[in-house]
Structure 1
Amino acid sequence: MSAFQPIQKRVFQFSLRIIKMIVFLPKNSAGFAISQQIMRSGTSIGANIAEAQDAASKADFTHCMNIALKEARETDYWLRLITAAKLIPEAKMASLLAEIEELVKILRSSVKKLRNKN
């Protein structure tokens, strides 16, 4: 089992939750624009971790993981914006916000360790 398999599974489940959350955004220009942005960033986290598994070098692996971290931070921004704008009730957003905070911490720690090894 790959060392990154648990995080891959966790991020995959998070991506599914993002996809399901999008249907609750308002059907107006703001909701549409935000849904496109968060769909891209929220699902890209896992895609970059998956891409890292076949990296050509340690530097490439670190680069892919760093992109996953950046996408997670962007997703955190969009989730906080959705909550602050009251586009979806805060009660429905709380677990997604908590999860992205945890994912950012995990990815930040992983990238830091990878950089220290290189």
Structure 2
Amino acid sequence: MTTKTFNLEERTFEFARDCRFLFKKITKSISNIEDGKQLIRSSGSVGANYIEANEKLGAKDLKFRLKIARKEAKESVYWLKLLKVMNEEFKTEITALEIEANELRKILSAIINKV
């Protein structure tokens, strides 16, 4: 991730994609596989829920989906932290993904507060 994408739908896609690229690189130990699976689920769910929120089925549904997307971004940080502990050689890449997950969480929080 060299430049930031301003389209949030695209940015959430890039985050999920980059998490998958990371998982392809790390050693396939039992803990890495389990933590990686969880990361893949939560990182993909950020974008999926954001897309669903944009379907405009009402303000209540919009806020609910945005809150789920925010929760999944926060969960992604947790799995990334666990992976970082076990994969020191990818510390820089994982830290960048943690930063992105936290930025997505903050963006989603700002949107929720404005809804």
Please indicate the TM-score interval, normalised by the length of the shorter structure. 0.7 to 0.9
TM-aligned CA deviation for residue 96 of structure 1: 1.0
Asked if 2 retains the 8 angstrom alpha-carbon contact of 1:25 and 1:87, the reply is no
State the superposition RMSD in angstroms: 1.6
Q: How does 1:13-24 map to 2 (within 5 A)?
A: 13-24=14-25
2:54 is the counterpart of 1:53? yes
TM-score, normalised via structure 2 length:
0.86
Quote the Cα distance in structure 2 between the aligned partners of 1:56 and 1:44. Answer: 19
Q: Distance in 1 between matches of 2:18 and 2:91?
A: 15
CA deviation vs aligned residue, 1:40-62 (integer Å, no higher than 9, x gap) = 00111000011112132110011
Q: How many residues align?
A: 110
Contact kept, 8 Å, 1:83 with 1:90, in 2: the verdict is yes
The two structures have a TM-score, normalised by structure 1, of 0.84
Structure 1 unmatched runs, 5+:
none
The answer (yes or no) to whether the contact 1:24–1:88 under 8 Å persists in 2 is no
The residue number in structure 2 matching 1:75 is: 76
Unaligned runs of at least 5 residues, structure 2: 1-5
- Identity rate, percent: 29
| In structure 2, distance between residues paired with 1:46 and 1:90 | 24
Greater C-alpha Rg: 1
**What is the 5 A alignment of 1:1-118?**
6-86=7-87, 88-114=89-115
SS at match of 2:96: helix
